[in-house]
Chains A and B, each alone.
Chain A
Amino acid sequence: MPIHEKSLIRPENLKTHEELVIDGVDVSGHWSTFIESRVVSDYNEAMEDEIAALPGGENIHRCWQCGSCTNSCTVNAINPDFNPRYWIYLIRMGMEDELLRDKDIIWQCVSCNKCTYACPRDVFPEGVMKATAHWLERKGHTPKSPSMHFDEVFTEQVIKTGKIEESRTIRRFFSRTKQGLMQPWMIEMVKRLLRNLPVGLLTRMGLATFVAPKTRGWSSAAAAMQEYIDEQHEKQEQALSS
């Protein structure tokens, strides 16, 4: 039977045999099309715990599926497939395959937190979106997002020197995200800086760029921060691998 509603069915669930004869009747091609049923046949109980172990995901188990988050969501208004309520459900019930279908849009959350204010159960859906995006990355389902690269470059620099030197942050960020440094807006910005900033300030900035001075007595603070970060990381790794 040809299926007229084919457009409503996910292509991978449509099965067609090029050559098929049943009881002597040739049903090759679209005559043999059938829809594979997508039965949920088990719950993966680890998934909720894994995402709950990442920052922001802690309260995911509170969700009662009211839909206020989706309804208030900035991104959902533009893309109806962006549905925090639905993803939270998939995670809670451990429907991993279903979640992975949407892996390329989950990171699009703009952190506006409209959902956070709408949620009657204090689930903190924005946090859950962040935790889910991190989970996808750490499980290798999605590449590192630009914002993750930025966070890393930023943190590395703070830990190393106790200071942020913007030009270094930008250069490293561009190099890790494989973007060329000589972007027109960049060139324009540097030109205007050179033209308009007082010489004293320019010299100090130049010095900072090339010498990368450290905050005095920074090393013990850096060690404490690094220890904390490692500790958290270790905890999360454990949760993700159990």
Chain B
Amino acid sequence: MTKPILIVGGGPAGLAAAHSLGTVGRSSILVEKEDKLGGAPILSGYAKLVPSGEWAKDAIGGMVDRVEGDSNIKVLTGTTVTKFDGTPGNFTAEFSNGDNAQVEAAVLCSGFTHFDSINKPEWGFGTFPDVVTTTQVEQMISSGQGVRCPSDGRKPQRVAILLCVGSRDRQIGREWCSKICCTVSSNLAMEIREELPECHVYIYYMDIRTFGLYETKYYWRSQEEFKVKYIKARIAEVTSDGEKLIVKGEDTLVKRPITIPFDMVVHAIGMDPNVDNPQLADIFGVDLEEHGHIAAENRYGAMGHTSRPGVFVAGAATGPETIDDSIAQGHAAAMSVLSELHQPVDKSA
């Protein structure tokens, strides 16, 4: 009997990899450190996803149900891998619950960690209750509560969304673009305008990166149909006059300093490397790339290889990725596992 494949992380990438293997009759063990599956979209309570417009709990929830109903997949929640040794086709994994298992290969789908806005104190998060993150706004929408100022529950009249919070910022050692936050922010801006038509939404940007087809659906649509305003400025600081939040910066298009009052300021937080990556790198013996993500090898030959044969990677574990791409990479990594297992000798030789 063939041994199962180990999958670490039950987000979109891990769910896709497990499902792919299941469809060809290969068994897998899906290890998830939190107590439920679904990854960031479920654990952080995202609202409607980009670009499908489906609610996260339906779209990703559907992937979770499919995996939980698949007898080929053994799900271990609340569990991590503590030790991983062996060679391709013959690995032994030990788990935090004391069990162990023989596995043929491993796929790391361990995702990312949300940037913690506390690390940009000048933008007021943690000091002023009405400075929130995109994740919090997602939760306000997905919970049905609606977008409200946390300080007193009022409907905001004017909202500022600050892009690139925790991304593209050498000051805090984060040079990468988190890829999805421009699009997510335009989407949230439209959601806010839809729920609160009287509320004006301003997006402060350095560049707008609603790449590919997202341009029409998010950047253009948010302006043309929802009258969201985009201002080219990187905000210097967010303070308060006791009543309103005061956003200070330079409007670069008119070369003028600005100090504008707002009811709510939203940080479009970026995607950090998973805080567990150093441990994961240690346990699985894989290299990290320069920013701290799990390094994916040359992608032209096959998807999802790491520096160690038999250990694969997919999704946001490799760097900022969208859900769609994470899912595609999960499926692709499953394919790479299958093809490698049929020629394990060349690889380990």
A residues with a Cβ closer than 8 A to B are: 37-43, 45, 48, 61-62, 64-65, 86, 89-90, 92-93, 95, 98, 121
Bound together, the chains give a CA A233 to CA B270 distance in angstroms of 49
Q: Which residue of A lies closest to B254 (CB)?
A: A89
B185 → A minimal CB distance (Å): 16
User: B230 and A40: CB pair below 8 A?
Assistant: no
Q: Which B residues lie within 8 Å of A62 (CB)?
A: 220, 223-224
User: A65 and B232: CB pair below 8 A?
Assistant: yes
Given A65-B232, A90-B254, A42-B227 contact (CB < 8 Å):
no
Selected from A40, A64, A92, A121, the residue in CB contact (under 8 A) with B256 is A40
B residues with a Cβ closer than 8 A to A are: 200, 202, 220, 223-224, 227, 229-232, 251, 253-254, 256-261
User: B223 and A38: CB pair below 8 A?
Assistant: no
User: B253 and A65: CB pair below 8 A?
Assistant: yes
Q: Which A residues lie within 8 Å of B202 (CB)?
A: 43
User: B223 and A39: CB pair below 8 A?
Assistant: no
21 A-B residue pairs with CB within 8 Å: A39-B257, A40-B254, A40-B257, A40-B258, A40-B259, A41-B259, A42-B261, A43-B200, A48-B227, A62-B220, A62-B223, A62-B224, A64-B223, A64-B230, A65-B232, A65-B253, A89-B254, A93-B231, A93-B251, A95-B254, A98-B254
Q: Which A residues lie within 8 Å of B200 (CB)?
A: 43, 45
User: B254 and A39: CB pair below 8 A?
Assistant: no
A51 → B minimal CB distance (Å): 13
Bound together, the chains give a CA A48 to CA B224 distance in angstroms of 13
Q: Which residue of B lies closest to A98 (CB)?
A: B254
Which of A64, A98, A121 has the most CB atoms of chain B within a 10 A radius of its CB? A64
Q: Which B residues lie within 8 Å of A38 (CB)?
A: 256-257
How would you classify the secondary structure of chain B's contact residues: helix, strand, loop or mixed? strand
Selected from A61, A64, A86, the residue in CB contact (under 8 A) with B254 is A86
A155 → B minimal CB distance (Å): 32
Bound together, the chains give a CA A29 to CA B256 distance in angstroms of 27
Given A65-B253, A93-B229, A98-B254, A39-B259 contact (CB < 8 Å):
yes
Given A61-B223, A62-B224, A92-B229 contact (CB < 8 Å):
yes
A63 → B minimal CB distance (Å): 8
Bound together, the chains give a CA A39 to CA B261 distance in angstroms of 13
A50 → B minimal CB distance (Å): 14
Q: Which A residues lie within 8 Å of B261 (CB)?
A: 42
User: B229 and A41: CB pair below 8 A?
Assistant: no
Selected from B224, B231, B253, B256, the residue in CB contact (under 8 A) with A61 is B224
Q: Which residue of A lies closest to B224 (CB)?
A: A62
Q: Which residue of B lies closest to A90 (CB)?
A: B254
Q: Which B residues lie within 8 Å of A41 (CB)?
A: 258-260
Interchain residue pairs A-B with the least CB separation, the first 4:
A40-B258, A39-B257, A61-B227, A40-B256
User: B229 and A37: CB pair below 8 A?
Assistant: no
Q: Which residue of A lies closest to B230 (CB)?
A: A64
User: B256 and A39: CB pair below 8 A?
Assistant: yes
Q: Which residue of A lies closest to B255 (CB)?
A: A38
Bound together, the chains give a CA A48 to CA B200 distance in angstroms of 12
Q: Which residue of B lies closest to A89 (CB)?
A: B253
Q: Which B residues lie within 8 Å of A95 (CB)?
A: 254
Q: Which residue of A lies closest to B227 (CB)?
A: A61
Q: Which residue of A lies closest to B248 (CB)?
A: A39
Q: Which residue of B lies closest to A95 (CB)?
A: B254
Bound together, the chains give a CA A95 to CA B229 distance in angstroms of 14
Bound together, the chains give a CA A95 to CA B257 distance in angstroms of 13
B29 → A minimal CB distance (Å): 49
Bound together, the chains give a CA A41 to CA B246 distance in angstroms of 9
Q: Which residue of A lies closest to B231 (CB)?
A: A93
Bound together, the chains give a CA A42 to CA B223 distance in angstroms of 20
Bound together, the chains give a CA A43 to CA B230 distance in angstroms of 13
Given A62-B223, A64-B223, A39-B258 contact (CB < 8 Å):
yes
Selected from B223, B229, B232, B260, the residue in CB contact (under 8 A) with A40 is B260
User: A37 and B223: CB pair below 8 A?
Assistant: no
Q: Which A residues lie within 8 Å of B260 (CB)?
A: 40-43
Q: Which residue of B lies closest to A67 (CB)?
A: B253
Bound together, the chains give a CA A48 to CA B256 distance in angstroms of 19
User: B231 and A37: CB pair below 8 A?
Assistant: no
Q: Which residue of B lies closest to A45 (CB)?
A: B200
